[in-house]
Amino acid sequence: MGDDVSERLSVRGLCKAYRSGDDRVTILNDFDLSLSDGEAVALTGRSGSGKSTLIHLLCGLAVPDGGRIRLFGEAMPATADDELWATQRRQRVATVFQDTNLLPTLTVSENIRFRASLADRPAPDVAGWLRALGLQGLADRYPDQVSGGQRQRAAIAVAFAMRPELLLADEPTGSLDRHTASAVADELFRFQRDTGCPMLLATHDQALAERCERIVPLTSEGDV
Ligand SMILES: Nc1ncnc2c1ncn2[C@@H]1O[C@H](COP(=O)(O)OP(=O)(O)OP(=O)(O)O)[C@@H](O)[C@H]1O
């Protein structure tokens, strides 16, 4: 069967287990997912169901035990350290994690510029992205000089500035109050609409999940 060319991401039969003492705990078992151009998909599931594990597999931070991942129409290699793929991901895939996106020794604006240059993009409109995410006045602060919620928004600004072709976000509004979460979600969906960048959002936030075109629930071994 041929692959759909509009598919940015295609996951088939993905398996991942972790060792826990003498046991192996299966987190993902024969898991399928596809994401097309311009599509927003929410990944939901209770704590421990494997949302972050899946995102880590997709961005090459972990290696699956079985199955296949195709990104931009090409099969991802089975090792995490493939140089060509590391470059592909660096340039085309943006990831937003809760607290690990920003380099601590760079200011907020330097983080944005650095990530854009790493992706080989032209100089980003730093002030514009900061304004859009309500971060005016924080450009010259270091990550440890802003709040957790501001860091999370800065991480989203970094992701936007690299003009990704795929955005993988793990709880992108997780540390924000309801009002700010809603404003940041607006920006995420505006970005998706304006750029056609597909997004996979792992979230506990039902309201955020329902704004996506599709919801993919993850279940784990303990679920009934
Ligand atoms: N490196 C690892 N080694 C062993 N077990 C792990 C590892 N990473 C995750 N796990 C386990 O895998 C399961 C899934 O974890 P994961 O972080 O993917 O869940 P999640 O759905 O993102 O949870 P949450 O909503 O709480 O963030 C958990 O039981 C976790 O303890």
Q: How many CA atoms lie within 13 A of 84 on its CB side?
A: 6
What is the domain extent for residue 167?
7-216
Pocket lining: 174 vs ligand 1, CB cutoff 6 Å: no
Residue-wise pLDDT tens digits, 189-198: 999 999 999 9
Is 49 domain-assigned?
yes
d(CA 167, CA 72): 13
Confidence of residue 80 (pLDDT cuts 50, 70, 90): low
CATH code (residue 89): 3.40.50.300
pLDDT at 220 over 80: no
pLDDT band (50, 70, 90) for residue 31: very high
Distance (Å) from CA 54 to ligand 1 centroid: 10
Determine, yes or no, domain membership for 224. Answer: no
**Which residue is listed with tokens 């399928």?**
32
167 CA to middle of ligand 1, Å?
A: 21
d(CA 91, CA 79): 19
Residue 97 lies in a domain: yes
User: Does residue 196 sit in helix, strand or coil?
Assistant: coil
Nearest CA, atom 16, ligand 1: 50
Task: Provide the domain count of the chain.
Answer: 1
Confidence band, pLDDT 50/70/90 cuts, at residue 217:
very high
- The set of residues, in sequence order, having a beta carbon less than 8 Å from that of 137 and lying 6+ positions away, is none
- For ligand 1, whether the C-beta of 105 sits within 6 Å is no
From CA 97, how far away is CA 110, in angstroms rounded? 18
Regarding the beta carbon of 49 and ligand 1, being less than 6 Å apart is answered yes
Tokens of 52: 């972050």
What's the confidence (pLDDT) of residue 224?
45
pTM of the model: 0.89
Asked whether residue 155 is domain-assigned, the answer is yes
Total residues found in the chain within this entry: 224
Q: Is residue 169 part of a domain?
A: yes
Q: What is the ipTM of this complex?
A: 0.95
How far, in Å, is the centroid of ligand 1 from the Cα of 28? 11
Q: Identify whether 24 is part of a domain.
A: yes
